Chains A and B, each alone.
Chain A
């Protein structure tokens, strides 16, 4: 059953340098209990998507399309309803969110506050629930009494996860939740997120540039480039045998240790991710694409079927050219 449905999402920031189209027509669904991994490099629009779902974008940003959460259109709902939806329906765990903890308030009180404000329990009951939440994220309940400075980075990120779970949402949006953490702690937090997700049947939108992390936690993967999804499909298949040349380059940046194909052979793309204000014509990836051919600079590829449950926006996907008007004709 579809929990989150995003249709033709377009987001344009208004800046002093003019409008910046950060997201240019995104559509995706997340089922209940499903984890969708959203991959892409800085500036591709992935965090913008995360923020748009709960309407956390700066004032004046132009948002088009539709975001349906449990059937309700988030983009048009009243502010009062939106406040209820945040936390109780969907909650966000940000990168470096641990810095968002109030340094002079005990962590127990901070989590309880969210529960009380959303009318889910009285203060006393809320604190009991917080103890349980902390246990669930692998912290001893006595930590309720601690101030943020008494916790390590990994522990703070656990607190942020507990806070996201406080009002029992059905969707967690995790935007680079482990990027600022050390390798060992990152693995611990990922394992925790994954086991909570399974245990509570949570749906998750997991966003990171690190494809290898995504493939570990996600059921499906969507790869973004220049504000659009350019490939999607089952996580392991997209990572293991990417169809789009950009996904291929991205996957190659995360080598499998022991795999001789990567040994002393770093592979990467020339050029840089495009400036959202100057997106190349046709396929936005064509200036960097190692296999670009004649029609690529003029034809915008849609997401073509690319195997079972897979789609890729590349004219080289088998059968894609059938859909394309003949170049130069």
Chain B
């Protein structure tokens, strides 16, 4: 089908069955007690596509594997399983790929060398990649000036000789972005790009990211714990839990009509004016060295605890059967036995008890 072909051609990054395991560490006390360290499955069979000019948000609690996934894409972390295709080809020459996929770090103050001028910081990427001239013969100075200007630092020459401490937080974050833009990337991976910025400054940085997406067709992966941020900027959202993507789909669907109870739980803890008297998942962020059998979310799942999964008869599956993502609505994937049963059980004829978790409040 031509539509399908078109979609395939538009995939910039194709992440397939990624798996990252960190070797188990034994603490002193554990060692003395003769315990063996458990391996931590930080990323477990993660697959997704990144399309040209889209913003994909990867969301989840700390320890869910979102940052590790981003680090693998950036080549900062080796994956034991899976592969990544860039524009349809496996990543061969790492350096060439690295140039096209650039990182924007979380903490602009920590990631800028305080002894380098802004010019040196932005030019560093060019030097590492041994780029002396731009595609149209521009000099290094011209390339740096253009990157600064694209990142909203104008006039760029005014910033050349300044040091990071002479800039404000928002300006420093723009320098970080300029450092990525100078290499003309197709993909930008931004790990919590605004969480260290003052609230009133955040919007400007996000607006800049939106502009890169709209005007330059740059694809952006935003790693964040903040679903409000995902709502503001993302086209699609992937929700991760314990190393897996448990829900993936258009931002509107995932954030307003979630299929997975974990996504619902994350949405429930977004602070809002309605007050704090709402259900909150008990327990701590889960431990990737001890992944529960069956659906890995079942020990904390409110649908299992409330008996809703039992009523429909999927609870034994929840406890025993691990499952991957299934496309339950067009373009909207989830890994949930309950959602499987209720959505696949016939769209029109879902009974009252069989409404997927996210639709309950809306109904």
Q: Which of A41, A246, A264, A269 has the most CB of B within 10 A?
A: A264
Return the chain B residue nearest A275 by Cβ.
B168
Complex Cα gap A215–B270 (Å) = 12
Binds A, one of B120-128, B178-186, B226-234, B319-327: B226-234
A252 at the interface (CB under 8 A from B): yes
Q: Are A42 and B198 in contact (CB under 8 A)?
A: yes
Q: Given A154-B284, A255-B228, A268-B206, is A209 in contact with B272 using a C-beta cutoff of 8 Å?
A: no
Q: Are A186 and B269 in contact (CB under 8 A)?
A: yes
A302 at the interface (CB under 8 A from B): no
* Besides the known contacts A216-B273, A266-B232, 16 further A-B residue pairs in the complex with CB atoms under 8 A apart: A152-B284, A187-B268, A187-B271, A213-B271, A216-B271, A216-B275, A249-B200, A252-B203, A253-B199, A257-B227, A264-B233, A266-B203, A268-B201, A272-B168, A272-B170, A272-B201
Minimum distance in angstroms from A203 CB to a CB of chain B = 18
B61 contacts across to A, CB distance below 8 A: 182-184
B272 contacts across to A, CB distance below 8 A: 212, 215-216, 256
Q: Are B255 and A258 in contact (CB under 8 A)?
A: yes
A299 at the interface (CB under 8 A from B): no
A106 at the interface (CB under 8 A from B): no
B210 contacts across to A, CB distance below 8 A: 264, 266
Q: Could you write out 28 A-B pairs with CB less than 8 Å apart?
A: A182-B61, A183-B61, A184-B266, A184-B285, A185-B284, A187-B269, A190-B276, A191-B276, A191-B280, A213-B271, A216-B271, A216-B273, A253-B200, A254-B199, A254-B228, A257-B227, A257-B228, A257-B231, A257-B267, A258-B256, A264-B233, A266-B203, A267-B207, A268-B205, A268-B207, A269-B203, A272-B171, A272-B201
B52 at the interface (CB under 8 A from A): no
Q: Which of B331-353 contact A (CB under 8 A)?
A: none
B168 contacts across to A, CB distance below 8 A: 272
The proximity string for B residues 199-238 relative to A, scoring 1 for CB distances below 8 Å and 0 otherwise, is 1111111110010000000000000010110011100000
Q: Are A269 and B204 in contact (CB under 8 A)?
A: yes
A239 at the interface (CB under 8 A from B): yes
Minimum distance in angstroms from A238 CB to a CB of chain B = 10
B62 at the interface (CB under 8 A from A): yes
Q: Which of B238-266 contact A (CB under 8 A)?
A: 251-252, 255-256, 265-266
- B interface with A by C-beta (< 8 Å): 61-62, 168-171, 198-207, 210, 225, 227-228, 231-233, 251-252, 255-256, 265-273, 275-277, 280-282, 284-285
Complex Cα gap A288–B204 (Å) = 12
Complex Cα gap A152–B232 (Å) = 32
Q: Are B232 and A255 in contact (CB under 8 A)?
A: yes
Q: Are B271 and A262 in contact (CB under 8 A)?
A: no
Q: Are B232 and A263 in contact (CB under 8 A)?
A: yes
Complex Cα gap A268–B277 (Å) = 30
A129 contacts across to B, CB distance below 8 A: none
Q: Are A253 and B203 in contact (CB under 8 A)?
A: yes
B171 contacts across to A, CB distance below 8 A: 272
Q: Are B199 and A41 in contact (CB under 8 A)?
A: yes
B277 contacts across to A, CB distance below 8 A: 191
Q: Which of A210-230 contact B (CB under 8 A)?
A: 210-213, 215-217
Q: Are A263 and B276 in contact (CB under 8 A)?
A: no
The 8 Å CB contact of B62, one of A182, A236, A246, A253, is A182
Complex Cα gap A188–B276 (Å) = 10
